[in-house]
């Protein structure tokens, strides 16, 4: 993945964050990555609010990976927030969830998710998934992203 692209990960489970970071590392993805433990923090990051005002230290994300079920503000609420902010809505969003419920999948896509992926059950499967996603997004044309929303 282009090393200049910042990844925003919205995930409340510390083990899932650790496994995802390990999968990034094993695939040579050393991009700046910010982890938000809930959707409210992720939206504050996107808006550049509070501690996130300094875009040098907290660069605007080029891709978002979000879980759905989180405290305070869910992944659905992140998607809804993005949908209501047209400048931010162009950021590719990948839902990475343990859910396989049809209603969750449908709602995520209705709210603008670009992909809905089920969390793999092993580290090896997650590493393969991360490689596939990185290869795909590296081939895609990307719009110029805003510096904040």
Could you state, in order of their start, the residue ranges of all structural domains in the chain?
Answer: 7-138
For 10, phi then psi, to 5°, come to: -105, 105
| Burial class of residue 139 in the structure, from the number of CB atoms within 10 Å of its CB (0-12 exposed, 13-18 middle, 19+ buried) | exposed
What pLDDT is stored for residue 132 in this prediction?
A: 95
Tell me, what DSSP letter sits at residue 145? Answer: P
Mean pLDDT, the chain, integer: 91
* Mean pLDDT across 24-46: 95
Mean pLDDT of 67-94: 92
Question: pTM of this prediction?
Answer: 0.92
In angstroms, the CA 107 to CA 109 distance is 5
Say which CATH class 7-138 falls into: alpha beta
Q: Which helix (H) or strand (E) holds 89?
A: none
Element containing residue 44 per DSSP (H, E):
helix 39-47
* Residue 84 confidence (pLDDT): 92
Give 85 or 33, the one with higher predicted confidence: 33
pLDDT for 74 equals 96
16 pLDDT band, cuts 50/70/90, is very high
Residue range 38-43: mean pLDDT, rounded: 94
In 3D, which of 51, 56, 57, 8 has the Cα closest to residue 31? 8
Q: Is residue 80 over pLDDT 90?
A: yes
Q: CA-CA distance, 105 to 127, in Å (whole number)? A: 22
């Amino acid at each position: 993945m282009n090393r200049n692209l910042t990844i925003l990960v919205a995930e409340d489970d510390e083990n899932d964050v650790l496994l995802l970071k390990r999968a990034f590392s094993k695939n040579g993805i050393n991009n700046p990555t910010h982890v938000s433990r809930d959707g409210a923090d992720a939206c504050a990051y996107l808006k550049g609010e509070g501690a996130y005002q300094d875009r040098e230290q907290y660069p605007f994300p080029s891709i978002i990976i979000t879980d759905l079920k989180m405290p305070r503000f869910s992944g659905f609420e992140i998607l809804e927030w993005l949908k209501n902010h047209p400048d931010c809505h162009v950021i590719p969003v990948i839902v990475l969830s343990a859910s396989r419920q049809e209603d969750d999948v449908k709602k995520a896509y209705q709210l603008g998710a670009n992909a809905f992926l089920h969390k793999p059950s092993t580290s090896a499967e997650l590493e393969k998934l991360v490689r596939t996603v990185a290869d795909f997004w590296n081939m895609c044309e990307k719009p110029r992203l805003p510096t904040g929303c």
